[in-house]
Structure 1
Amino acid sequence: MNYYKEDELKKVLIHELGHFVAHQILFENFEYSEPINIGICYENEKYLGQVNARRRNNHPKRIAYPGQSNMQEFEDVASTLYGCIFQSIFTRIDVCNCYNSIDGSYDFSQIKLAFIEFGEDIEQYKDLFFSHFHILNQSEIPEMISQISLNDFFEPKPNNQYLILSRDVLNNSNIKKIIKIVTPMYLNFYKKIKKRNPTV
């Protein structure tokens, strides 16, 4: 496999694992949005990924019209942030670069729209976000993320599509450790932001 493509594939996998881990923590602690699988496809010369989740019956996924966010609860924002957090830790680049890149720009556009719809100024939350990112970077998480291998989940092939089931992610010993270590930090971050505006 071409090195560039393999490297890009791993970056997308790490990004989606970030979303998955956040979803799983929210599900375990609040029964919110159980992750079902990770899908990755190769389209228009790039890899695209998505975490598919089973939402609570009373919280179906919102249909977003142009100019609207598809997020209706703060939990959606919290899990969306984690794609670029994991990717930036893995690639060792500024997390803002991820949100401005093709990998994270859609995520961030939805987050910004959500804050507007929640009646919140996203700028007021940046210090909490960067503090949380710094705490993760100073923990064991960067080393653990660097140990994740494509072969842990599938046999990488050029221009292929992949579907990784939830049980295969959760059975991975490295992911189990990551979830265990991230959970208290994530919940602390989550509660701090919720405390600033309990209505969000």
Structure 2
Amino acid sequence: MTSPHVLAVSRDTTHRFSKVPEPSIHLIAGIGVLGDAHAGTLVQHRYAARKDPNQPNLRQVHLIGAELFDEARERGFEVGPGDLGENVTTAGIDLISLPTGTLLDLGGPVVRLTGLRNPCVLINRFSPGLLKVVLARADGTPLGRAVPDEPRDDRPAPQVIRKAGVMSVVERGGEVVPGAAITVTLPDGPHVAMEPV
């Protein structure tokens, strides 16, 4: 396996599904990506902000492993950096298996993982059928529709595998560039698996 590194960086000033690849992005501690629509101390995700605009922004920086793009390509989908709305595309690291609170040093700037991205129907609007690549039942069976991240009525939330990346907050700011080595620092135990945020 290749050493963990930043493959690409992206941002967008407006709330569109995809982000634009850039030569570099600048992270600001406690805020997010300079010039990105999701930057801020309070939640910027449109759906979450409608529910409660005063909750903290746990989605300042979105990261996706490029290995997901390979999996999508094998299943007939063409996806590249920024297409799924991520700010940082990584390689050589299994992001979704890391515990909550993991620190990722992105070549100087540091982010702390807060949770999983919960894939939504917008993924299928971007590329019909792609949701089956990023969302599966715990046994690996692909799901073609979004699922709630909380129980509804008396039914428990289904156990699913979410592969659409992870969310984080910026602990130390600075410039992130493609090719930067990623250093992983796990939190003190016991480790807690990430949940959707």
Name the structure where helix makes up a greater proportion of residues: 1
Give the TM-score band, short-chain normalised: under 0.3
Name the structure where strand makes up a greater proportion of residues: 2
Task: Return the structure number with greater relative CO, CA threshold 8 A, min gap 6.
Answer: 2
Q: Could you state the TM-score of these two structures normalised by the residue count of structure 2?
A: 0.28
Q: Could you state the TM-score of these two structures normalised by the residue count of structure 1?
A: 0.28
